[in-house]
Amino acid sequence: MPSIEIYSTRTCPYCVRAKQLLDRKGAEYVVYDVTGDQDARDKMTERAGGSHTVPQIFINDVHYGGCDDLYALEEDGKLDVILGG
């Protein structure tokens, strides 16, 4: 199983969509809620190369971007390969 981390907020619909896709894939992930936590958001932004929107998704410590990027990987048939499936 790959290590999946998602930086998210409580009210972000894109975060929900990204997690729903991963749930459909049977993937387990850790969610870092950055709602109102500037230190956590700063860490996310640093890890994501300056990206400050949520979600920010990391798989095996590789930054894959946000929700649209995750769905693009799925459409291209690459997400299953990244997830090891």
Over 18-35, what HEC string results? HHHHHHHCCCCCEEEECC
Assessment of whether the complete model's pTM goes beyond 0.85: yes
Q: Kindly tell me the number of DSSP H helices and DSSP E strands found in the chain.
A: 4, 4
Domains of the chain: 4-82 (3.40.30.10)
Residue 85 has a pLDDT of 66
Q: What is the pLDDT of residues 33-83, one digit of tens each?
A: 999 999 999 999 999 999 999 999 999 999 999 999 999 999 999 999 999
- How crowded is residue 44: how many other Cβ atoms within 10 Å of its Cβ? 23
In terms of Cα–Cα distance, which of 30, 15, 26 is closest to 83?
A: 26
